[in-house]
């Protein structure tokens, strides 16, 4: 090769390719015209073929003075999963050739096959970083784990120069994508990042979901599969990369300082801080340490769909936030999708209300799954489908109970509203609310909730259960609330055991009412200072008028055999208690005397007779037969 050195001096090598197989080594050299291309090859049949090959290669590399546009170190004709002992000897010899130079070899583009990333980086570091513009690491024939993060050593090595980075992989895996995210944070080092691959465990949509940053990929039908990231200003400003940047230890360290984060919380507002909280463990721990008050006014969770539940929160008078769960989840197993959606709902509930110190105006849950049921091809969903959905509700509420029960303090709620629920469901929530703040309880059982939805689906008759209050009515939360509304199957619990006389307003339906129940309510409510209106519907009654008249006196007005009214002056104020027993009508009115006009006042006076209605409000208790 010594005869070629003058040629190399007159026309330096522009590109160099070192190709090796199991049985031969070949070097291709490219010069500027008129010399063109030259090559030499040594085969295994010759004695010491590798030694002789390397001797000539070392002379060429040692004497190369100018810039090499392209250097390829490739193992050609490889079968997949070849062994490292085929690569080690050649790479080590090339390493020695580069190491023998007095100055770093100037290479503009490098493409290298190596045993692993660490070995490839050993070769890279023997090149001049000021001119290297592209590095291509080739592992496409090796279905083994490759630690591509070793290539992050380029960041410190290249002295602030920017380059294009290419990985050629056999199979792209989620852990590789997580590693690539770290390269995306190095905009000062990389201009583009390409990942070529033969196989992938995800489709392109899933890849985008995992990376959550702008990326390009091959067109449909293309033989070569790849994904590409352009490290531009648009990528820098993307939401996904902002999140990645904040999760970087260097960037996040500032926000992990409680003194700084406290000021950030004051400026950002709750929801922005919650987004920050999801960016790194350090920031999350810092936010949790500070325990910022959330000040949410209303929180609603809607299971209208089993796989895509939704939530809504309101903060202040004009600000609300809605979100749907499970939009990006994929699985052929519907139960898996349901469980993932539930976990997301519960996680957000715990995060959003974990440090809620102020009182929620309303906490609402709906478990109707109406959208899921209406999607059934059969307009009457199967019993098995209803049972499956009921089981989902039970699972969710057990997990919710665990969250509520482990809070450092009871959740403050003014109004609890649970629709499409059973008495068992209520017991997973109600005991864990602060009784000092709870004012109103509103419950709908499944039959009533689907009725409210205009009977778009019919709840199976055999699944209907009475709404039993025996356990619920003993809770402090029940005894402290002032308003109660339950639309359900008739309640079998006895009125006298319900603990309801402290309520100001009630709407319930009971299974049975007796004359003694009427007397019980009348005697207690005459002493109440908060009572306003009770409406109690009943399915059955043991009332007979003779017994009732003997207990509370004759009615003041009898409109018909089934409709009569009593008035009693209350003992603690100048107001009247009106007791109306209506066994015929399905609808009744409530008249508050101080809110009626003159004509209404005169009509009421004619009803009251000698009683003086000018004393004040008329409080009512109505009994209506279903």
Give dist(CA 262, CA 569) in Å, integer.
58
Q: What is the pLDDT of residues 533-575, one digit of tens each?
A: 999 998 888 888 889 999 999 998 888 888 889 988 887 777 8
Three-state SS letters, 134-170: EEEEEECCCCCCCCHHHHHHHHHHCCCCCEEEEEEEE
What pLDDT score was predicted for residue 145?
A: 78
**Rounded alpha-carbon distances, angstroms, from residue 128 to 34, 160, 613:** 28, 13, 102
Reported as a pLDDT band with limits 50, 70 and 90, residue 456 is confident
Element (H, E) at 620: strand 618-625
Beta bridge partners of 26: 19, 41
- Residue 44: how many CB atoms within 10 A of its CB? 12
Give dist(CA 466, CA 446) in Å, integer.
11
Q: What is the pTM of this model?
A: 0.58
What pLDDT score was predicted for residue 602?
A: 39
- Residue 391: how many CB atoms within 10 A of its CB? 12
What pLDDT score was predicted for residue 606?
A: 37
Q: Which of 92-96, 320-324, 496-500 has the least mean pLDDT?
A: 92-96
DSSP structure class, residue 197 = E
Chain centroid to Cα 110, Å, comes to 43
Q: Are 343 and 349 in contact (CB under 8 A)?
A: no
Cis bond upstream, residue 600 (ω within 30) = no
What pLDDT score was predicted for residue 66?
A: 84
- Residue 550: how many CB atoms within 10 A of its CB? 12
Under 8 Å CB-to-CB from 358, ≥6 apart: which residues? 293, 294, 295, 296, 412
What pLDDT score was predicted for residue 210?
A: 62
Give dist(CA 486, CA 536) in Å, integer.
10
What pLDDT score was predicted for residue 144?
A: 76
User: For 48-139, where are the alpha helices, taking DSSP H only?
Assistant: 49-63, 88-99, 117-124
Averaged confidence pLDDT in the chain: 80
Give dist(CA 506, CA 532) in Å, integer.
9
Is a pLDDT exceeding 50 seen at residue 106?
Answer: yes
What pLDDT score was predicted for residue 254?
A: 66
Q: Are 162 and 186 in contact (CB under 8 A)?
A: no
What pLDDT score was predicted for residue 107?
A: 93
Is a pLDDT exceeding 70 seen at residue 410?
Answer: yes
User: For 192-333, where are the alpha helices, taking DSSP H only?
Assistant: 204-211, 233-237, 239-247, 249-255, 258-268, 270-277, 281-290
Is a pLDDT exceeding 70 seen at residue 414?
Answer: yes
Is a pLDDT exceeding 60 seen at residue 376?
Answer: no
Is a pLDDT exceeding 50 seen at residue 231?
Answer: yes
């Amino acid at each position: 090769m010594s005869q070629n050195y003058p040629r190399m001096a007159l026309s330096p090598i522009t590109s160099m390719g070192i190709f090796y197989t199991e049985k031969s080594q070949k070097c291709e050299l490219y010069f500027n015209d008129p010399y063109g291309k030259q090559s030499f090859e040594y085969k295994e049949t010759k004695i010491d073929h590798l030694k002789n090959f390397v001797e000539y290669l070392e002379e060429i590399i040692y004497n190369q003075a100018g810039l090499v546009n392209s250097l390829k170190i490739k193992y050609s004709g490889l079968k997949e999963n070849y062994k490292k002992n085929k690569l080690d000897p050649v790479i080590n010899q090339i390493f020695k050739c580069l190491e023998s130079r007095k100055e770093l070899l100037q290479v503009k583009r490098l493409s290298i096959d190596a045993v692993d990333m660490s070995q490839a980086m050993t070769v890279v570091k023997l090149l001049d970083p000021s001119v290297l513009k592209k590095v291509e690491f080739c592992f496409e024939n090796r279905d083994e784990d490759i630690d591509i993060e070793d290539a992050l050593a380029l960041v410190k090595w290249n002295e602030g120069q920017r380059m294009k980075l290419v990985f050629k992989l056999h199979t792209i895996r989620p852990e590789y994508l997580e590693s690539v995210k770290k390269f995306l944070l190095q905009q000062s080092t990389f201009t583009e990042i390409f990942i070529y691959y033969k196989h992938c465990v995800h489709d392109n949509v899933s890849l985008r979901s995992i990376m959550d940053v702008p990326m390009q990929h091959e067109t449909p039908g293309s033989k070569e599969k790849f994904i590409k990231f352009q490290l531009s200003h648009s990528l820098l400003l993307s939401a996904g990369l902002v999140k990645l940047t904040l999760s970087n230890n260097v960037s996040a360290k500032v926000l992990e300082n409680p003194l700084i984060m406290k000021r950030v919380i004051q400026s950002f507002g709750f929801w922005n801080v919650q987004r920050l909280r999801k960016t790194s463990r350090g920031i999350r721990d810092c936010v949790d340490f500070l325990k910022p008050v959330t000040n949410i006014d209303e929180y609603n969770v809607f299971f209208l769909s089993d796989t895509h539940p939704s939530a809504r929160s309101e903060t202040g008078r004009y600000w609300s936030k809605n979100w749907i769960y499970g939009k990006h989840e994929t699985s052929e197993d519907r139960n898996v999708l349901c469980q993932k959606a539930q976990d997301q709902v519960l996680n957000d509930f715990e995060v959003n209300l974990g440090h809620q110190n102020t009182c929620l105006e309303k906490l609402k849950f709906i478990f109707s799954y109406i959208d899921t049921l209406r999607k059934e091809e059969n307009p009457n969903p199967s019993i098995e489908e209803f049972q499956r959905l009921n089981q989902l509700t039970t699972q969710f509420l057990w997990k919710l109970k665990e969250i509520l029960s482990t809070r450092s303090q009871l959740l403050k709620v003014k109004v609890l509203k649970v629709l499409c629920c059973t008495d068992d469901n209520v017991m997973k929530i109600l005991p864990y609310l602060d009784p000092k703040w709870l004012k109103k309880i509103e419950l709908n059982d499944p039959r009533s909730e689907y009725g409210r939805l205009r009977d778009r689906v019919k709840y199976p008759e055999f699944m209907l259960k009475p709404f039993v209050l025996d356990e619920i009515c003993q809770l402090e939360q029940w005894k402290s609330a002032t308003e109660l509304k339950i639309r359900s199957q008739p309640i079998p619990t006895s009125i006298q055991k319900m603990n309801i006389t402290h309520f100001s307003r009630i709407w319930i339906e009971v299974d049975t009412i007796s004359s003694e129940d009427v007397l019980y309510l009348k005697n207690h409510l005459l002493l109440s200072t908060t009572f306003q209106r009770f409406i109690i519907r009943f399915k059955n009654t043991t009332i007979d008028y003779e017994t009732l008249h003997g207990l509370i006196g004759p009615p003041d007005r009898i409109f018909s055999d089934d409709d009569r009214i009593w008035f009693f002056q209350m003992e603690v104020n100048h107001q009247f208690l009106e007791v109306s027993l209506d066994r015929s009508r399905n609808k009744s009115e409530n008249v508050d005397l101080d809110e009626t006009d003159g004509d209404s006042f005169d009509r009421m006076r004619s009803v009251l007779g000698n009683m003086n209605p000018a004393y004040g409000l008329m409080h009512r208790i109505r009994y209506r037969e279903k």
